[in-house]
Amino acid sequence: MDKTTEKEEKKPIDWKKEIISWGIIIVIAFALALFITEFVIMKAEIISGSMMPGLKKDDHVIGNRLAYLFSDPERGDVIFFEYPLSYKSKYEIDPELTYCKDESLGDTEKKYHKDSEVYVKRVIGLPGEKVVIKDGLVYINDSTVPLDEPYLKNKPRGDYGPYYVPEDCYFCLGDNRNSSADSREWNNPIDPETNPDRFRFVHKDNIYAKAALKTPPDMHWVEHYRYENEPNK
């Protein structure tokens, strides 16, 4: 081995360059992770049993934020969305609800609650459709045949509707139909007599993501059901 090669091998590490190099890598990795979580995927925790048996309480689910970038939700999709009765949604429609009492600040102080509540439900009614529930069975657009829903946990009960789904909105229900707060119950607490359905439906702009993957330990793809007896629109 010649002296030149030996000197090159023993050349000391430039720690300043190494630190800068690793710093750049960390910044790029952080920016990429932030971009992915803000614009590509979303993680939600199931906080109730309303989507059993497919999704159980305390399950964590990853959603695809880009799913509806060039398409619309379909009947049977499981979606993440902002709870229609959240303070944020009500404020956008009723500006007088900007401020809510915050007990920690005392009665004389008020604070706007900006927290958004994420719900996970299944799309049942599409824009422009009529939805009626008789003896727990769902009928779309006066069809004489109910939707075939094999994913339901128990035989559903109750009569609801008719509901007329507005443009760009969706009628959403839980799979554990007898234990789910959903579009059957959401109504207008501000003006229930003249406009009871004001907060009942999920607007497309308030859909965050399409559920994709249940994370470990019980990892599986989320089922987006497609109905054999799809009603005519």
In sign, the C-alpha dihedral spanning 152, 220, 40, 73 is negative
- Tell me: pLDDT of 30 over 80: no
pLDDT at residue number 162: 93
- CA 23 to CA 10: how far, in whole Å? 25
Q: How far apart are CA 102 and CA 116, in angstroms?
A: 16
pLDDT of residue 196: 83
Residue 163 · residue 124 · CB < 8 Å = no
Q: What is the mean pLDDT of residues 40-62?
A: 88
Average pLDDT, the chain: 80
Report helix, strand or coil for 110: strand
Task: Give the pLDDT mean for 163-169.
Answer: 93
217, 204, 219, 221: which is closest to 80 by C-alpha?
204
CB atoms within 10 A of CB 139: 18
Active-site annotation holds for 50: yes
Q: Which of 42-46, 139-143, 186-190 shows the highest mean pLDDT?
A: 139-143
Is the predicted pLDDT of residue 204 greater than 60, yes or no? yes
- 59 neighbors 176 (Cβ within 8 angstroms): no
Cis before 53 (ω within 30): yes
Instruction: Please identify which of the residues 90, 121, 153, 214 carries the catalytic annotation.
Output: 121
Q: What does the block give as tokens for 156?
A: 């559903």
The pLDDT > 70 percentage for the chain reads 75
Confirm if 140 and 162 have CB atoms less than 8 A apart. no
Do the Cβ atoms of 218 and 70 come closer than 8 Å? Answer: no
In the chain, count of helices (H) and strands (E)?
Answer: 3, 13
b/e string for 10-19 if b means 16 or more Cβ within 10 A?
A: eeeeeeeeee
* Distance set, CA 13 to CA 16, 23, 91 (Å): 9, 16, 58
Residue 210 designated active-site: no
Length in residues, the chain: 233
Region 179-205: what's the mean pLDDT?
A: 85
- pLDDT beyond 60 at 98: no
Which residue out of 50, 86, 89, 180 is catalytically annotated? 50
**Please, which pLDDT band fits residue 21 given cuts at 50, 70 and 90?**
confident
Residue 2 is predicted with a pLDDT of: 55
Start-to-end Cα distance in the chain = 82
3 state DSSP class of 162: strand
Go through the domains of the chain in sequence order and give each one's CATH number: 37-221 (2.10.109.10)
Of 116, 131, 154, give the one whose Cα is nearest residue 200. 131
pLDDT tens digit sequence for 207-224? 999 999 888 888 888 889
**pLDDT of 197 over the 90 cut:** no
Q: What confidence score (pLDDT) does residue 18 get?
A: 67
